[in-house]
Structure 1
């Protein structure tokens, strides 16, 4: 009897977490899945009898929506440019801080980490003023060196890169800490042995540091890619998806249809398409990582 009680003890400890996960994560997912097969809107919330089952019609309509197709292309643009930039800059800064000898490099940890803990809405508002075409700081600096002003948020292409720059500035801090922790876990004896063998800094970086950071890079790439696939706050605050829907992400498309147009079933269908896309991308990355490990 005592042995049975001891076996059940761990379940009592994890029960609160499982209950919270079920109520606030798993159950809402199933509810959203059911909603995606209906035409529920504000009237349906008031009177459930008017809700109709429409099957896969919402999914068909979403895939035939030109704005949704454009939001997919915009999101892919963010992922293709944003993810590599975050990894490169975060890893580069982590390397400088880890191998830097001057005391100021310790202060750089706080400096680069601070944007990550700032409120994204407040930061987006401040950056909107910096991007102002007439009175913004960035165009003022360009004019001071006799360069033409840039339509940061008014041109479709410039607007994408402007949002990526802000998101990059915010994302560096957390990923820098992850890389820094991984770097400090590499035994110094590896570098000492490489120096005795005559390996220069580039050889040490490519033959020791990068290979031993494989798992950290893998983790950062997955979390960063998921974050970019769910890119929402920056375009919502700064551009509202404009100009000409050039910065509308899939997440912003879902929000717009769900909370502005009250097309809950339609928005739920879009959210599940995004949900499946994130799962597929994650599984593909895991597959490639496992192949590298086996190799």
Structure 2
């Protein structure tokens, strides 16, 4: 048996391998979170840290009492409710159409992969041009005698433009995850179902979807987190307008900290967002798991 000294030396060596990761985690994860939590209870200017003073829970109360912040929360919920189901439906549909390996599907896979190569900023600029007053969409409408659409002047249309961009750019990521999952489904199950006379829709609903349920759960959680953190598309496409009608909760964090100089409220929104995303993710995982396992 090893002596106590030898066991301690062995544990110390093992710990030394973890030390670099722990240092990085503390410096870039735990310490920033602690600072944000501290700032959420402060009031003052980010440009003059000496002006910071305790504010208690006033910053958290302001998030729920000021209509501008509530509007950004409702906008983020709108983006999640709309983009999450439609995005996953589009991704699953395309995955079922393209998961078989052949030359034709390989061409379409290459096309669908293009949005993943383009950055969100570049994609936002492209969509901004396409939907602009003198862009291709309004040009085609004018050619058929229809009036142009002012996408970025109407609150509803501005949010719809953001949704279109997110569906085009974001859904393609999940297509490849679903295709990989479908290609991993054992062919024995499919062959047995066909021998028993199962229809095509029965293969999909009763065999393939249950077998990739954990991948669907993963994609739903990832999509929820992604939609709650929408910033680049809104910043480039609409700047949160018109009249802050398309502003997301993540954009509200940026506006409060760097435009309104309300660092305490910005930190409070960030903490609330983190807790909300954590709660929603746990809820989704619990509900979807219980449904599949029941």
CA RMSD of aligned residues (A): 1.7
Aligned to 2:114: 114
Contact 1:62/1:68 (CA < 8 Å) preserved in 2? yes
- Change beyond 3 A, Cα 1:268–1:4: same
Rounded Cα–Cα distance in structure 1 between residues aligned with 2:123 and 2:89: 23
Partner deviation per Cα, 1:231-267 (whole Å, 9 max, x = no partner):
1111111111111211011111110010112211111
Aligned to 2:257: 258
- Change beyond 3 A, Cα 1:12–1:95: farther
1:291 and 2:263 equivalent?
Answer: no
Match among 27, 30, 34 for residue 30 of structure 1: 34
Partner deviation per Cα, 1:62-113 (whole Å, 9 max, x = no partner):
21111111111111110111001111111111111113x6412112222212
Question: Is the partner of 2:48 in helix, strand or coil?
Answer: helix
- Change beyond 3 A, Cα 1:206–1:147: farther
Aligned to 2:170: 171
Aligned to 2:20: 16
Contact 1:112/1:172 (CA < 8 Å) preserved in 2? no
Rounded Cα–Cα distance in structure 2 between residues aligned with 1:114 and 1:24: 32
1:93 and 2:97 equivalent?
Answer: no
Aligned to 1:75: 76
If the length of structure 2 is used for normalisation, what is the TM-score? 0.93
For structure 1, list consecutive stretches of 5 or more residues without a partner in the other structure: none
Contact 2:91/2:171 (CA < 8 Å) preserved in 1? yes
Aligned to 2:222: 223
Could you tell me how far 1:11 is from its partner in structure 2? Answer: 3.3
Rounded Cα–Cα distance in structure 2 between residues aligned with 1:224 and 1:176: 12
